[in-house]
Amino acid sequence: MSNSTDLSRRRLLQYFGLSAVATAVVPDWLLAASEQGSQNQAGPSEPDVECGITALTTELPILSADRPTKVWKFSGELVKGPPGTVQNIPDSYLGPILRLRKGQKVRIRFHNKLPEPCIIHQHGLHVPEKADGHPRHQIGSGQTSVYEFTVLDRAGTYWFHPHTHHRTAEQAYYGLAGLILVTDAEEQSLELPRDEYDVPLVIQDRSFDDQNQLRYIAHRHDRWRGFLGDRVLVNGKLNFVLPLATRAYRLRILNGANSRIYKLTWSDGGPLTVIGTDGGLLETPEVRNYLMLAPGERVDLWADFRGRKVGDEITLRSTAFSGVMPMMGMGGGMMGMGRGMRGGMMGGALPQGAEYPILTVRIVREERDQLTLPRHLSQIERYRPQEAANSRKPRSIHLSMRGMSPQLNGRSFEMTKVAEDEVIPLNTLQVLEFVNQDHRARGMMMAHPMHIHGQQFQVLKRELASGFEQRYASVSQGFVDNGWKDTVLVMPGEKVTILKRFDHYTGLYLYHCHNLEHEDLDMMRNFLVQA
């Protein structure tokens, strides 16, 4: 191994803190046919990459070495493939990082050593149903499952996490998550920051009791709000400091929180330069004064620290915003409720929309580089709505919170059931609308980060209903919708129209709110893709 590779690895470890339609049950024969179709199109008989991922329980010194915290985590092992494909992160509950290349055939052997069922979802990747994490394929404690797929996706920042029936939120909260970084020839042709200058950052919030143990929502009826903790962690570490040089970096940021939404800003008021979103690089860089980042979303930033001096510090913050919670005022207070929104009614939680620091960048050394921000990053094939199979009749998905029960089109999740409007022909382009305009529940409306499994989609437009302008104003300029997306934040009063293809694989593919507590409360449904 070269000295430069050793240095890259050491610095990466340092960054992680080491220094209304009736539903019907899908017939068994149709599910079997869908599975067979996916298998025929997917499974690599001889993979390029084979790895083992084990879900297990352990203890880590998050707050104190004297009182370690019990966590759940994924541990990875490379069986076959290029060195560096699987990178575990010592002393962090996060990881491993899987580094893949477009076109590779991948086999993952998932071993469940947890005391309950589990399954892995490859978030953002377009894979066969049996590798996608549908909870009907979850396995019990002590069992093993094999996921096989070919990497069809472009270069980008993807991730994996559990998708266990009614247990996704708590399993993710206790630590189960890892990154999947895909590269391809198009990305490799660009002069972007690489190796130790390409930094993954996973932002989450947690709460701890007086024994340094993770504290989750105590009562099920409190989960409709979503979990909100009182401590912000980055890469599994509190009070995160990122030691950098006086040069350009690529910062890959994942919102790995259960329900917290971030409004990202630099403390010095400088702009954020976006080069990528969920599904990879944009066509051209985009500049924002702030960025909205919902659970499950990713954003890649070009961050240039040339001109800084050793010892300088700059903070990445989440600044105040409103309008995402029921009758929420600026900074997270619930108007008329007499107090701020609490995470599972736990005192001291940071309200949704509050202002707080996330991490500190500290300039620790001088270094010169010749990189310049590329004017053109990638080529994106733009979908045209008139070419959609349902161009004259979009599939509308209405989001509701009636009776504190989150639903999609008035329906809750059913393991193998679909409605007539949830059956989608294979190899078609579809227009879908997420509609968060339930005027009968106007005071109880919430923002919902909507995620669809399978291929990435394109956001066509956002439309805001009359009367929501004031609530929308503090977030309206923070969306980057020009790239590929798999998760989109739908604000109260909004209708977001997207274009999505359903190619290659048949079977059941989930769509759901990525507020993980909402998902576990069954704000999730199936699309049945069939030939």
Q: Are residues 261 and 303 in the same domain?
A: yes
Same domain for 342 and 205: yes
Going by C-beta distance under 8 Å and a sequence separation of 6 or more, which residues neighbour residue 331? 320, 322, 340, 351, 353, 354, 355
Q: Are residues 49 and 165 in the same domain?
A: yes
Task: Give yes or no: residues 181 and 204 share one domain.
Answer: no
Select from 88, 85, 86, 79 the least CA-distant residue to 60: 88
State yes or no: pLDDT of 511 exceeds 80. Answer: yes
Distance CA 119, CA 162 (A): 5
Same domain, residue pair 112 and 214: no
Query: How many Å apart are CA 293 and CA 296, to the nearest integer?
Result: 8
Higher pLDDT pick, 2 / 281: 281
Give a yes or no: residue 337 inside a domain.
yes
Q: Both 165 and 71 in a single domain?
A: yes
Give the end of a domain, one of 139, 169, 188: 188
Q: Which two tokens stand for residue 233?
A: 């962690």
- Same domain for 358 and 474? no
Whether 418 shows a pLDDT value over 90: the answer reads: yes
Tens-digit pLDDT profile for residues 1-36: 444 444 455 555 566 655 434 455 555 545 555 555
Domain span including residue 101: 20-188
Q: Tell me if 1 is assigned to some domain.
A: no
Read off the tokens for 435.
């509609």
SS3 451: strand
Residue 230 resides in a domain:
yes
The better pLDDT of the pair 341, 187 is held by 187
**pLDDT at residue number 32:** 55
Q: Is 396 exposed, middle or buried (0-12, 13-18, 19+ CB in 10 A)?
A: middle
Q: How high does pLDDT run on average in the chain?
A: 90
Residue 138 lies in a domain: yes
pLDDT tens-digit profile of 486-496?
Answer: 999 999 999 99
Cβ pair 493, 388 in contact under 8 A? no
10 occurs within a structural domain: no
Q: Are both 35 and 108 inside the same structural domain? A: yes
CATH classification of the domain holding 228: 2.60.40.420
Q: Which pLDDT score is estimated for 402?
A: 75
Together in a domain, 359 and 218: yes
Residue where one domain finishes, among candidates 144, 171, 188? 188
What is the pLDDT averaged over residues 407-420? 97
The tally of domains found in the chain comes to 3
Q: Verify that 356 and 396 share a domain, yes or no.
A: no
pLDDT for res 164: 99
Q: Give 403's pLDDT tier (boundaries 50, 70, 90).
A: confident
**Percent of the chain clearing pLDDT 90 (strictly above):** 82
Q: Give 144's Cβ-side CA count (13 Å radius).
A: 9
What pLDDT, on a 0 to 100 scale, did the predictor assign at position 42? 45
Domain-terminating residue out of 167, 188, 209: 188
Predicted local distance difference test score (pLDDT) of residue 336: 33
Model pLDDT for residues 302-324, shown as the tens digit of each residue? 999 999 999 999 999 999 999 89
